[in-house]
């Protein structure tokens, strides 16, 4: 098994990008330690505050965000960061060449039940002649790296720098991420999907019809049985897709016309889309590739359908029969 740094060099990454990614994994090790300590570290439970999304923050949301923000802004190659937990961007080194967008702790509602959670991150180039939040308003295809850290029975880093997707596992004995899967490929076909079924009555007609046909199984129009899996943390559900195939979706729903989507484009949908597509899968909002969407706000939300190529295409075919609800 190989350590993180030599493997990245084999991919001909810039030294500056290696430094940024190593900063992320340094923060991830500390977050993993706090999580594994659980109640002993005093990180369980909620705060009395809400983040910019209007969501009540967990104590570890705040800790993870502060760790990532502080360490990344100390890196000379990072110009600015954007986080789910921050109202606006935070600027670091004026000479830095990279922008980092991150969800410090995806699935934080799972913390208190000892469930899967993770850190998702996206690395963008700093555009010339642009300052402020507008710097981050780049389509996902501009990403130079993307990945996540999954805090589970083992702590895993899943990463792409634009070529293959690789999986690393944290070796607790030496404190290093070691390469454990050098190339991830998603099977094109699947009989497994992940969606929050409790929201079915709120979905668009296209998604309602698609999921109904999956549930009809072998006797239905798809003529095969499907299993449903739902972890309630995007990082866990996408990890399953990368590990054995499947489809993950968090679609449009009609409950809040001013907030019809759940997942954020910059620091959830885009990095996951890059990982999935570099692993030979597809990622779309149901109609268009996620990584072609032009952001208009750093906290913009978007519909997500990603995973095994042929199944995503099947889902898109249902959507093609209906107009966009958004």
What is the model's pLDDT at position 218?
97
In the predicted model, what is the mean pLDDT of residues 197-213?
97
Average pLDDT of the residues in 156-177: 96
At residue 4, the pLDDT reads: 55
**Which residue positions form the known binding site for Mg(2+)?**
84, 103, 105-106, 268
CB neighbour list of residue 174: distance below 8 Å, 6 or more residues apart: none
Distance CA 64, CA 67 (A): 5
Q: How far is 297 from 312, CA to CA, in rounded Å?
A: 26
Q: What is the mean pLDDT of residues 84-104?
A: 95
With residue 101 as reference, give the H or E element that holds it: strand 98-106
**CB contact at 8 A, 236 and 116:** yes
> What is the three-class DSSP state of 51?
coil
Q: Which residue blocks in the chain are alpha helix, DSSP H?
A: 4-10, 15-37, 59-74, 205-215, 234-244, 270-278, 309-320
Given a cut of 80, whether residue 85 has pLDDT beyond it is yes
In this model, does residue 50 exceed pLDDT 80? no
- Does the reported pTM lie above 0.95? no
**How far is Cα 234 from Cα 107, in angstroms, rounded to an integer?**
7
Phi, psi of 188, deg, nearest 5 = -70, -25
- Please give the residue that has the higher pLDDT: either 54 or 233: 233
Per-position DSSP letters for 137-155, written without gaps between them: ---GGG-SEEEEEEESSSE
Torsion of CA 233, 239, 245, 251, to 10 degrees: 30
Cβ(222)–Cβ(216) below 8 Å = yes
Taking Cα atoms as reference points, which of 227, 20, 18 lies closest to residue 121? Answer: 20
210 DSSP β-pair partners: none
Looking at the predicted structure, is the pLDDT value of residue 292 above 50? yes
Task: State residue 111's pLDDT score.
Answer: 79
3-state secondary structure of 112: helix
| Annotated binding-site residue numbers for substrate | 106-109, 196, 262
| Least reliable range by pLDDT among 18-22, 39-43, 174-178, 246-250 | 39-43
Q: Which residues of 115-136 are buried (b: 16+ CB within 10 A; e: fewer)?
A: bbbbbbbbbbebeeeeeeeebb
Binding residues: 84, 103, 105-109, 196, 262, 268
Q: What is the DSSP letter of 15?
A: H
Contact 97, 125 (CB under 8 A): yes
Q: Which domains does the chain have, with CATH numbers?
A: 4-181 (3.30.540.10), 192-320 (3.40.190.80)
Whether residue 1 is predicted with pLDDT greater than 70 in this model: the reply is no
Q: Does residue 243 sit in helix, strand or coil? A: helix
DSSP code, position 3: B
Other beta carbons less than 10 A from residue 152's beta carbon: 17
CA gap 236, 243 in Å, rounded: 10
pLDDT computed for residue 59 by the predictor: 81
- pLDDT at position 10: 44
What percent of the chain is modeled with pLDDT above 90? 82
């Amino acid at each position: 098994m190989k350590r993180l740094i030599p493997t990245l060099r084999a991919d001909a990454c810039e030294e500056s990008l290696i430094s940024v990614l190593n900063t992320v994994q340094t923060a991830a090790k500390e977050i993993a330690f706090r999580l594994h300590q659980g109640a002993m570290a005093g990180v369980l439970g909620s705060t009395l505050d809400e983040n910019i999304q209007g969501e009540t923050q967990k104590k570890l949301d705040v800790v993870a965000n502060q760790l990532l923000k502080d360490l990344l802004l100390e890196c000379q190659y990072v110009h600015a960061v954007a986080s789910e937990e921050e109202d606006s961007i935070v600027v670091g080194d004026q000479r830095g060449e990279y922008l980092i967008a991150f969800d410090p702790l995806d699935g934080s509602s799972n913390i208190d039940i000892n469930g899967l959670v993770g850190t998702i991150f996206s690395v963008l180039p700093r555009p010339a002649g642009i300052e402020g939040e507008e710097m981050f308003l780049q389509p996902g295809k501009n990403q130079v790296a993307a990945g996540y850290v999954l805090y589970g029975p083992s702590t895993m880093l899943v990463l792409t720098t634009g070529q293959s997707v690789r999986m690393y596992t944290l070796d607790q004995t030496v404190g290093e991420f070691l390469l454990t899967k050098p190339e991830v490929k998603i099977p094109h076909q699947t009989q497994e999907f992940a969606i929050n079924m409790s929201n079915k009555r709120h979905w668009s007609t296209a998604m309602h019809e698609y999921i109904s046909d999956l549930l009809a199984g072998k006797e239905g129009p798809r003529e095969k049985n499907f299993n449903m899996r739902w972890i309630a943390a995007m990082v866990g559900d996408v990890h399953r897709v990368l590990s054995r195939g499947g489809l993950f979706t968090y679609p449009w729903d009609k409950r809040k016309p001013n907030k019809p989507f759940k997942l954020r484009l910059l620091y959830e949908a885009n990095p996951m889309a890059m990982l999935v597509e570099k692993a030979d899968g597809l990622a779309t909002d149901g109609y268009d590739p996620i990584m072609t969407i032009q952001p208009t706000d750093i906290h913009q939300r978007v519909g997500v359908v990603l995973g095994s190529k042929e199944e995503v295409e099947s889902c898109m075919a249902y959507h093609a029969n209906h107009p966009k609800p958004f």
